[in-house]
Amino acid sequence: MPSDPRVAQALAALAQPIAEFRAAVQGALAQADAFLAAQTADAASQAVRAATELGVFGGAHVDAARFAAMFPAVAKADKTSLAALEKAAGILRRVAGQGDEMAVALVTDGVKLGATIDAALAGAGQAFGAIIITELVRGGRFKKAEHEKLLDPAEFRAWNNAERRFAPPLVVEVDGADLHAGALLDFADGREKIVLVVRGNAPPAALVRCITPGTFVLQTVDGTGLDRLAGYEGPAIAALLPEGAATFMHDPNAGKEPWQRLTVPFLPTGPFKAVGGFSAWQMEQDVTMLAELARTPFVVPSAPGGKGAPAIGAGEAVDRIASWLLDTSGLKA
């Protein structure tokens, strides 16, 4: 298992969606194995199975061997279908055997963040294909020319809506210099959840670029908010960052307006130093954008009948509104 304790922290938070995906894989594997076993069962084994199904009363009145021959447990499948099912079962067994490692990826030198996520999720896409193959073979509907390609690794972009709804979460270890937030937007669909464990210096507010009305976005230095992310029903992106980075949570369930959905416990101030290919100017722009999105839309009148001041923060708005009310009421000395 990974040595960084933050990886274990992220996996613990994502335990439920990981368990849901593994349950689907293990259920399909059990069905595939049972079907394959029934295909190769000899007459004696079939008779034992039939006797069990008939029970004491049925067994006393019906010949179990003849019953098994007339009513087999599963329909006979052709060799091509069985070969595809055996391959599907192998894929499902491999994925099931990976445990939590299935949900962890590492960005290595020379490989971009998006490519790393693509490769990690391609295995899950192959598992989805294996699940479908299992159902097709068991139902006698498998057609090699049409369906065999389902057993190839499939990147996230090729997944259908149902698969994206059952997408397994992913924890990705990445250096701060490789934290290119734009690469994450390709995976913000369905219920995909990606948590970045960021090492070393990093852009302080890179994930602000991932904020859209229906995407849960989180930057945290201590794991706060990961439970909310895991329970969100849509796509979610998070980063566990070193101390000093901006911390914020964009929760689409919190309101219709950006300032209602966004909370910013900590906003760093410059000057910023370049990290990797990120310039200080880009970092400043990200921080400024985060501040602007979090700004509450209160308009404070500057004078009776005036157009008012621009939107300001909630705390400052309270003070200025109170001051203006006192001024206009004549109660202030």
25-60 confidence digits (pLDDT tens): 999 999 898 888 887 754 555 545 544 554 655 555
Q: What is the pLDDT of residue 317?
A: 60
pTM of the model: 0.79
Q: What is the pLDDT of residue 328?
A: 67
Mean pLDDT of the chain: 84
CB 202 within 8 A of CB 177: yes
Q: What is the pLDDT of residue 47?
A: 46
* Whether residue 137 has pLDDT greater than 70: yes
Q: What is the pLDDT of residue 232?
A: 95
Work out the average pLDDT over 153-176: 91
Q: What is the pLDDT of residue 323?
A: 72
How confident is residue 265, by pLDDT bands cut at 50, 70 and 90?
very high
The C-alpha atoms of residue 315 and residue 249 are separated, in whole angstroms, by 19
* Whether residue 1 has pLDDT greater than 90: no
Report which listed range, 40-54, 153-167, 227-241, is most confident: 227-241
> Residue 70: left (phi > 0), alpha (psi -120 to 50), or beta?
alpha
Q: What is the pLDDT of residue 64?
A: 47
51-102 confidence digits (pLDDT tens): 455 465 555 555 545 644 544 445 678 899 999 999 999 999 999 999 889 8
317 versus 152: which is more confidently predicted?
152
Range name among 131-140, 150-159, 218-227, 310-319 with the lowest pLDDT average: 310-319
CB 194 within 8 A of CB 187: yes
Q: What is the pLDDT of residue 67?
A: 44
